[in-house]
Amino acid sequence: MSKNIGFISTRFAGTDGVTLESSKWAQVFKESGHSCFWFAGKLDRDRDKSHLIPEAHFQHEKNRWINAQVIGQKGRKPPVTQAIHDLRSRLKVHLHEFIDSFRIDLLIAENVLTIPMHISLGLALTEIIAETQIPTISHNHDFYWERDRFSINAVNDYLRMAFPPNLYNIKHVVINSNAQEQLALRTGISSTIIPNVLDFENPPGMDVEGTRVFRESIGLKPDDRMILQPTRIIQRKGIEHAIELVKKLNDPRNKLVVSHEAGDEGFEYVEWLKEYAFEHDVNLRLIPTKIADPWGNNGNGKAKYSLWDVYPFADFITYPSLYEGFGNAFLEAIYFKKPLLVNRYATFVKDIEPQGFDLIAMNGFLSRKIVQSVIEILESPEKREKMINYNYDVAARHYSYSILRTRLNAILSYFFGDSAKHISGNTSFLKQEDDTYPFSFAKRRAQQSY
C-alpha cells in the first residue's frame, strides 16, 4: 500500500544539503507511488502538497529573537521561556493541521530534531511525535555538538529533550559513521547510516545550449576556464583556499565561480572573500541569480537555472571544506565527471577516502605538489578522463540510489511490515508524470516567457 509521507524542516528551498537530500528521498519514494508532502517556514515545492508556515523558518523574526537570548548565553529569563513555548504551541497547531489535512502516514524530520536552529519547532514536533505515536524517521544531517556556536547555550534542558528525542516510534538516520558513534555515545540512540547519494544508475543529461547560456550570463568567454566552488558561502566551506589555488595556478583564463548563495550565517564572510580575491588578483564570480534544486521545481518557475546547469561546463571543482556532514558537492562533481580538489575533512577521511577514489586531496593547506597536480589534470585530457571515469565507477558502487532504496525499505518494513509498498528502482513514473524529475531549467526557460 502506498503511503503519504510528510517532510518537515525549517526550509525546503534552494540548494543547501538538507533540501537536496530530502528531494532525492522524495524522488525514490515517488518512483514507487508514494505521495510526499512538505511542511516548512520557506518552501518552493508544489503548493498543493505544501503547508507553508513562515514562523517555522529559522530566520523568522520571532525565532531570531529567541536564538539571540539563548545561544551564547548561560541562562535564560522567564519571558524567553514563555516566548519559546508560545511559539511551540502555535507550531503544534499547524503541525496537527499538516498531518490531518494530508493524512500523513510517516513523518520525515529533516534536521529539525538535530540542530537547534529553531528550538520551538523541535519541541513542537517532538511533542507531536510522542502524543500521536506517528511513525517517524529523523534524518540527522548534523548535530548541535558538532557546532561551536551551540557549545554555550541556555537551553540544555530542551536540547536533551528534543535534539534529538529518544522515542520508540522514531528511527534515526545519520549520514556518516562518526555521527552514528557520537549519537550512541551521547544519547544511547541507535541509528542507521544512509550516506548522501545520487542517481549513478542514470548519468546526467547534457543540455549544451542551456549551459552555454549560463556561462554567458555570468560573463565567461568561450576560452575561459570555470573553476567552480559549488557550495554555500559560509566560513566552513574554506573558499579562501579556492581563491589561493586560482592565484597559484597563475593563468588569466581561470575564473573562480561560486554557485550558491550567502546569508545563512550572515554576510561578513562573503564581503571578506571579495576583498581577499581582489588582493590576490583573482577573478571571482558570485552568481547573482537564484540557483535551483534540480529535483524541486524551485520557485514555481522563477529560478532561471538549476544546479544541473552549473556543473556541465565547469573545468575543475574546488571543495576545500573544513567540515562536512557528508559532502553533496563531492558526489555532484563525481556524477558530472569533473576533476576536483578536496580538503581531507574528518568525514571524508573516515568514510569516503577508504572507498578508493582517485583524487587531488589537500591537508588543510595548498602545497606546491597539490598545485602542480591540478595543473597536470587541467592540461592533460588523458589523465582527466582516466580519473573521472574511475571515480564514477567507484561512486556508483557505494553512493547510488540503490543504497538509499535498500535502507529505506528496511525502515518501512520495520514500521509497516508488508503493508508498505516496496521502493523499487523504476524511474518511468517520475519521468512521465512528475515535474520534479531533475532537468535543466534552461530547457524550461525556452518554453516560458520570463
Same domain? For 109 and 45 the reply is yes
Domain-located, residue 418: no
Give the pairing of strands 35-40 and 291-292. unpaired
Sign for the pseudo-dihedral over CA of 163, 39, 442, 215: negative
DSSP letter, residue 438: -
User: Residue 21 has what pLDDT?
Assistant: 92
What is the number of structural domains in the chain?
2
Range of the domain at 146: 4-193
Task: Give, for 318, the enclosing helix (H) or strand (E).
Answer: strand 316-319
Q: List, in order, residues 6 or more apart from 252 with CB less than 8 Å away.
A: 283
Show which of 352, 372, 398 is a domain's final residue.
Answer: 398
User: Residue 359 has what pLDDT?
Assistant: 93
222: burial class by Cβ within 10 Å (0-12, 13-18, 19+)?
exposed
For 44-73, the DSSP string reads: -S-GGGEEE-GGGSTTSHHHHHHHHHHBT-
Same domain? For 179 and 296 the reply is no
User: Residue 213 has what pLDDT?
Assistant: 76
Show which of 153, 168, 193 is a domain's final residue.
Answer: 193
Same domain? For 186 and 221 the reply is no
Domain-located, residue 172: yes
Could you tell me the CATH number of the domain that includes residue 180? 3.40.50.2000
Print pLDDT tens along the chain (450 aa): 899 999 999 999 877 889 989 999 999 999 989 999 999 999 988 999 999 999 999 999 999 999 999 999 999 999 999 999 999 999 999 999 999 999 999 999 999 999 999 999 999 999 999 999 999 999 999 999 998 899 999 999 999 999 999 999 999 999 999 999 999 999 999 999 999 999 999 888 766 666 677 778 788 888 899 999 988 888 888 899 999 999 999 999 999 998 866 665 668 888 999 999 999 999 988 876 666 667 655 444 555 677 777 888 889 999 999 988 888 889 999 999 999 999 999 999 999 999 999 999 999 999 999 999 999 999 999 999 999 999 999 999 999 999 999 999 999 999 999 877 778 764 443 343 344 444 444 444 444 332
Measured CA to CA, the distance from residue 86 to residue 207 in angstroms comes to 49
Same domain? For 160 and 41 the reply is yes
Domain-located, residue 56: yes
Same domain? For 159 and 223 the reply is no
Same domain? For 388 and 266 the reply is yes
Same domain? For 169 and 215 the reply is no
268: burial class by Cβ within 10 Å (0-12, 13-18, 19+)?
exposed
User: Residue 413 has what pLDDT?
Assistant: 93
User: Residue 209 has what pLDDT?
Assistant: 67
Domain-located, residue 356: yes
Same domain? For 174 and 231 the reply is no
List alpha helices for 153-222, DSSP H: 156-162, 177-187, 208-217
Measured CA to CA, the distance from residue 317 to residue 311 in angstroms comes to 9
Give the pairing of strands 50-52 and 305-306. unpaired
Same domain? For 320 and 241 the reply is yes
Domain-located, residue 232: yes
Domain-located, residue 228: yes
Same domain? For 182 and 212 the reply is no
Domain-located, residue 41: yes
Measured CA to CA, the distance from residue 309 to residue 304 in angstroms comes to 10
Show which of 355, 383, 398 is a domain's final residue.
Answer: 398
Which residue is associated with the grid cell 549551459?
A: 211
Same domain? For 212 and 315 the reply is yes
**Please, which residues bridge with residue 294 across strands?**
none
53: cell is 508556515
SS3 43: strand
Same domain? For 156 and 269 the reply is no
User: Residue 421 has what pLDDT?
Assistant: 75
For 83-118, the DSSP string reads: HHHHHHHHHHHHHHHHHHHTT-SEEEEESTTTSTTS
Domain-located, residue 64: yes
Closest CA to 20 of 436, 444, 314: 436
User: Residue 335 has what pLDDT?
Assistant: 95
